[in-house]
Structure formats: C-alpha cells, structure tokens
Amino acid sequence: MKALVKSSFMVMLAIIAFTSCKKDTRTLNLGLNPVGTLSAPSDQADIKLAPATGASLVFQWSATQAADGDLVLYEVAFDKADGNFSKPVYKTLSDGSGVQPQATITQKDLNKIASLAGIQASSSGKIKWAIIASKATNKVVSTVSRSLTIERPAGFAVLPDALFLTGTATEGGTDMTKAVPFKKTADGVFEAYTSLQAGTYQLTDKADGSGTKYYIDANGLIQQGSSATTVTGGTKVFRLDYDFNVATTDVTEITGLGLFMSAYDSEIGQLKYVGAGTWEAAKIPVTFYQFSWGRDERYKYILHTSAGLEYWGSENLNNNNYPPSVTADYYYLLPVTNDQWNNTYKFDHAADTKAVKADVYFKAKDTYTQVITVLQ
C-alpha cells in the first residue's frame, strides 16, 4: 500500500513539473515596426566636409517599438544614390551601442562613406541614408530615406598607416626590401630625408609589393594609382613631406649641414650626406672659445635648404654641462630657433683643442639625433 501511494505521488510530481515547464514556454515574437520618420539632417542637405575641424554630424529619427515592447537596436545605413539598402556601402550602430534614436558620425567617417559610394576627392555627389531597426534576427529598413549631397575635400578618406619610397630614382632602387621608409609624424602625414637621382619613383603603404600605390602628379598633388613620378637631373638630397589628409606635398632640397659653434657665431665644419638619412663629418677640429669666465663649448647645427637656413639643436633651452653619464635623449635633435646660445649642446671637455667625428641621423624609425665622438 505504501509503495502504491509513493508511486502515485511521484506521478503527480512529474505531471506538475511538466505542466509548469509548459506554462513557462512561449514563442519569441519577432514583430517589429520600421522607423517611419527621419528628423535630421534635412533631406537634400548639402554637406561640405572639412574633416580637420573635427566637427561631427548628428543623424536623428523617431524611435520605434517591437511588438512585445522588447529592446530595439538601430543602425544608420548609407548607400549610393541609386541603391536600395540591400547591400549598403556602410553601416554603423546608433549612439549608446545601438539603443538611442540618433547617431553621431564624424566628418572623417562621412568622408570615408562618400569615398565608398564612389564620390572622388575634390568633388561632390549624392548618397542616401536610412535606418535599420532590429530585434534578434529580424531586421527592417525604415519606410523612408533621405539624400545628402557630400562635397569631399582634397585628400584621402582612408589614410595610409605607413609609407615607403621605391623606384629607379631612389636609394633602394626597385628592390622592395630596400624601399626607403618614411617617418609618420601625424595621422596621414609622413616625412623622409633621402636622395633622389634621375629615374622614376612610386609611393606605397607596404614594402612587400602588395600595398596601395601612389604617385605625385604634375601639380604636386598625391594621387592613388600605379603611375610613376619622374625625376630628372643629378642626384640631390631632399626632405619629402607628404600629407594625405589634403593630398599635398612639400619637397625641400637640402644643400648642406653645418656644425655651428655658438661662441664663434659660425659653422666650424660641414657634414656630408652618406645615404639613409645620415650625414657625417669624419674629422672637425674643435677649440673652445676663451671668455673671461672660462672656455665655451656650446654647439648645434644649421641645415641649409632651398627655403633658407634651419637651426637644429637640443630640446632643452640650456644644457648646463656635458653630463658625466650621457643618455640617448641628450643627443635628440629638434628644430630650434636661430638664437646664438639657446637650445645648444655642450661638447665633452675632452674635445677641447682636439678633433671630433660628427654624425647626424634623420632616420624614419628613430628620433632624429646626433652623436659627437672625440678623436684621440
């Protein structure tokens, strides 16, 4: 009898458990209303991009709801003027990780979007935007869309992260493993100290042959493509500055580099360019200047360029004495003023009435620097 009661009790528990589970089970409702109202920017708005300003554009729309009141996520979708948003050129979540009915989009990203839609630099064209609302796997495009006329600036929407110089006119020739690297000084901005000879060259963002290629056109603007830039005449040393943000170039010929000694207010020796962004002088006689208070050992450098003289020296306004333990940063080389005494280095006291070897390095992978070696 007890066994029968126990068995009946277990059956009842199973029925109750099954009933409870069945009661908690419900079908997921994927019903979702599309966005029906776009608020900003206005339809057919004209947007003249100036990415360098850092300003952003805010896209706004009316919020919508899922059929069961669950959370809705939003994406702003952009497409070509004749697109239908089945394959938008660009999508981005709204603010708040997709929850808010607005999206803040930078001009830099808008420049990229316009480029993806086929609008060329320094020209204008139309793009469309709409809102994709989603819940789980269900996604619906807004019932309305708007157009924007985007005017792109000169420059590139996608900036290279690295830059190399290659070709018959360059120090590395056509061997990509010897391509001349540039120093990245800011986003999209690059600099190299190198020589060029008669021949041609190209720019690329990868030194293995697989990178995007660029060239300099007849107006000195950077263009994307496999064309080459031609160099004529004899070998010369240059500082090459390229800004992909605005597609501009600044080519400065370097005609000399002198070791300037402050007390004499003149250059006491010249360095010679030896390749790979390096200048050297094998032997420069040095004699400290005798003042009533003692002997003066201050020096810096003068770079002779086609645009005029540039002074290069220490980041410190005044270096008291040549430190007994010299660290690498003592020799760091930066553009400074033409003040006779400020931002100078000091020779090792052992250099007085001796000769020194001077080396200056404008190399892409390192901080620009200089080294003085006292010759015995």
Section 175-196 average pLDDT: 95
Residues 225-257: tens digit of each pLDDT: 999 999 999 999 999 999 998 888 999 999 999
344 and 296 fall within a common domain: yes
Of residues 54 and 61, the one with the higher pLDDT is: 61
**Is the pLDDT confidence value at 164 over 50?**
yes
Return the pLDDT at 1: 45
> pLDDT grade, residue 2 (50/70/90)?
very low
- How many domains does the chain divide into? 3
Please give the share of the chain, as a percent, with pLDDT higher than 90: 71
Residue 10 resides in a domain: no
- Non-local (6+) Cβ contacts of 54 within 8 A are 106, 107
Render 107-173 in DSSP notation, one character per residue.
Answer: HHHHHHHHHHTTPPTT-EEEEEEEEEEEETTEEEE-S--EEEEEEPPSS-SS--S--EEESTTSTTT
Separation of alpha carbons 256 and 371, rounded Å: 18
What pLDDT is recorded for position 319? 85
End of a domain among 151, 182, 199? 151
**CATH number of the CATH domain containing 77:** 2.60.40.10
What are the tens digits of pLDDT across the range 104-151?
Answer: 998 888 988 998 999 988 889 999 999 999 987 889 999 999 999 999
- Give the model's confidence band at 27: pLDDT under 50 very low, under 70 low, under 90 confident, else very high: low
pTM comes to: 0.73
Is a pLDDT exceeding 60 seen at residue 371?
Answer: yes
CB 289 within 8 A of CB 298: no
**Angle, alpha carbons 299-302-308 (nearest 5°):** 155
Whether residue 69 is predicted with pLDDT greater than 70 in this model: the reply is no
Regarding whether 262 and 359 lie in a shared domain, the answer is: yes
* Residue 246: predicted pLDDT: 84
Q: In terms of Cα–Cα distance, which of 24, 61, 20 is closest to 40?
A: 61
Distance CA 248, CA 262 (A): 36
- Rounded Cα distance, 109 and 333, in Å: 36
Domain end (from 126, 151, 176): 151
